[in-house]
Amino acid sequence: LTSVGSLLTSALTVGVAFVCLHGTFRVPDDLFLDEQEPAANAGLLTFIGKSAATSAAASLD
């Protein structure tokens, strides 16, 4: 390999080693909540439904 190829290979190897070490020592217990939110309030696009209901109520006035 050339010096550039050797440098890229070494950097990739060190990067993969750091990712593996991080995954090994990580504690994922606090990543998830035990509480469940109501399904009506959950969802990515809930703001669309809320704004549509608000605009529909405003147009009735």
pLDDT tens column, 10-60 = 999 999 999 999 988 887 776 666 666 555 555 666 666 655 555 555 555
Residue reference for tokens 């009735």: 60
Q: How many angstroms from the chain centroid is the CA of residue 7?
A: 31
Is the pLDDT confidence value at 1 over 60? yes
Contact 57, 49 (CB under 8 A): no
The answer to whether the CB of 15 falls within 8 A of the CB of 22 is no
Does pTM surpass 0.85?
no
Q: What is the mean pLDDT of residues 1-8?
A: 89
Long-range contacts of 14-23 (CB under 8 A, 24+ apart): none
CA 11 to chain centre: 26
Position 45, amino acid: L
